[in-house]
Amino acid sequence: MCAAVVVGAAAGATPALAAKKGNKKVPLIVYSAQGYDQAVVHAFQAATGIPTELDTNSTGPLLAQIQASKNNPHWGLLWVDGQTAFAELDDEHLLVKHFEPKVKWNALGKKVIPKDQSFVPTGITLMAPVAYTSKVLKNPPTSWSTLLSSKWKSDVGMNTPSQSGPTYPFIAGMMSYLGSITKGKQFFEKLKANGLVIHTTNGPTVSALASGQIKIALVQSTAAIGAEHTDPTLRVKYLSPTTMLPSNIGIDAKATKTEIAEAKKFAAFVLSKLGQAVMKTGTPTGDSLYYPVIQGIRPRPGLPSLSSVKVQHTNPYVWGPREASINSWFVNTITK
């Protein structure tokens, strides 16, 4: 069951301010899998007086909630990593279209804005860098194909897409890079035959690396770079290509006009200077380690320049409709 964190007006504003600003406002329900979400929600409430309910969970369960209640939705906006899920929701006519906050996008931001403006990018991370510890591994793999070598038998770990939102975009990215779904499936089948270890999300996979269960963790860049703060021997290597993983906000098309207006204000706040400052400080060793999509905003120290990493951006409208079937195949064939 999803743990709902209710952030009422008193959490971000005085009762007097809430009474003054709260007239005719309805609670904005935020579904989020971002580590900094509660900090941003508090800051948003303090700035606007809009009451907000934060429902936080992994991406997979949040998307399952949306699908289960799509005829009677209980969410106002969704804020998670990866664009394929948003493209699928857009295809189902579940997202507000033609909305874009008035901001100055940088080059990264311009690359990942959907043509129909049905979701709003808020930052960029990468999937899936190779995380390893230098005290155990002196010569990490140099390409995706080398992971299939018997040298790495039972040493490679990754997440399952049924729980981890960033994992399906990684799988889709590999299929795109290798040229077809069939070749991508063959790659992961060979990884499994070579002893691939599957965990639920970034945290357990990084923990498996720290405990010595595995020697290579294929996880989100934020988790890999963040782990360096607690383990000085941990290293991060980017194989070519690495898949771009934008975080995004999508607004429920079936919400009330009031809640849609509040959700638009939330998206604009996230991309404001204050909102970006909160995102960058909310989880400094986790999700705050992202590449901004707004001009004039710098990433936190420690992130490699993207000029040193070959990245690819897969088309979410090509891979979004395939997500359910590919995830089902992965869970039934690779995870089990």
What is the residue-wise DSSP string for 79-140?
EEE-SHHHHHHHHTT-B--S---S--B-HHHHHT--TT--SEEEEEEEE-PEEEETTT-SS-
Q: What count of other Cβ atoms lies within 10 Å of the Cβ of residue 183?
A: 12
Same domain, yes or no: 325 and 207: yes
pLDDT-derived band at 170, boundaries 50, 70, 90: very high
Same domain, yes or no: 55 and 187: no
Same domain, yes or no: 100 and 175: no
Query: Residue 210 and residue 330: Cα distance in Å, rounded?
Result: 25
Same domain, yes or no: 142 and 167: yes
For residue range 290-305, list pLDDT tens digits in order. Answer: 999 999 999 998 788 8
Judge whether residue 96 has pLDDT over 90.
Answer: yes
Phi, psi of 243 (to 5 degrees): -90, 130
Read off the CATH number of the domain in which 181 is found: 3.40.190.10
The pLDDT value given to residue 306: 87
Sign of CA dihedral 111, 162, 192, 322: negative
Same domain, yes or no: 157 and 226: yes
Four-CA torsion 316, 294, 128, 186, nearest 10 degrees = 20
Same domain, yes or no: 148 and 195: yes
Query: Residue 335 and residue 94: Cα distance in Å, rounded?
Result: 30
pLDDT-derived band at 60, boundaries 50, 70, 90: confident
Same domain, yes or no: 176 and 294: no
pLDDT-derived band at 13, boundaries 50, 70, 90: very low
Same domain, yes or no: 117 and 163: no
Task: Using CB atoms within 10 Å of the CB of residue 200, give its burial: 0 to 12 exposed, 13 to 18 middle, 19+ buried.
Answer: middle
Judge whether residue 25 has pLDDT over 90.
Answer: no
Question: Which residue in 215, 208, 128 sits closest to 164, CA to CA?
Answer: 128
Question: pTM, whole model, 2 decimals?
Answer: 0.86
Count structural domains, the chain. Answer: 2
Question: Any alpha helices (H) in the chain, and if so which ranges?
Answer: 9-12, 15-21, 37-48, 59-68, 84-91, 107-111, 167-178, 181-193, 202-211, 221-227, 257-270, 273-282, 316-319, 323-330
pLDDT-derived band at 163, boundaries 50, 70, 90: confident
Same domain, yes or no: 132 and 183: yes
Total length of the chain: 336
Judge whether residue 197 has pLDDT over 50.
Answer: yes
Query: Residue 83 and residue 222: Cα distance in Å, rounded?
Result: 17
Query: Residue 80 and residue 263: Cα distance in Å, rounded?
Result: 15
Judge whether residue 1 has pLDDT over 90.
Answer: no
Domain containing residue 133 = 127-243+310-335
Same domain, yes or no: 81 and 138: no
The pLDDT value given to residue 304: 85
Same domain, yes or no: 70 and 89: yes
% of the chain residues with pLDDT over 90:
84
pLDDT-derived band at 308, boundaries 50, 70, 90: confident
Token digits of residue 104: 């100055």
Mean pLDDT (whole number) for 24-40? 93
Task: Using CB atoms within 10 Å of the CB of residue 236, give its burial: 0 to 12 exposed, 13 to 18 middle, 19+ buried.
Answer: buried
Same domain, yes or no: 121 and 131: no
Judge whether residue 248 has pLDDT over 80.
Answer: yes
Judge whether residue 157 has pLDDT over 50.
Answer: yes
Judge whether residue 108 has pLDDT over 90.
Answer: yes
pLDDT-derived band at 38, boundaries 50, 70, 90: very high
Helix (H) or strand (E) holding 32: strand 28-32
pLDDT-derived band at 101, boundaries 50, 70, 90: very high
**Greater confidence, 4 or 318?**
318
Mean pLDDT (whole number) for 111-125? 96
Lowest-confidence range among 48-52, 115-119, 231-235?
Answer: 231-235
Q: What count of other Cβ atoms lies within 10 Å of the Cβ of residue 231?
A: 15
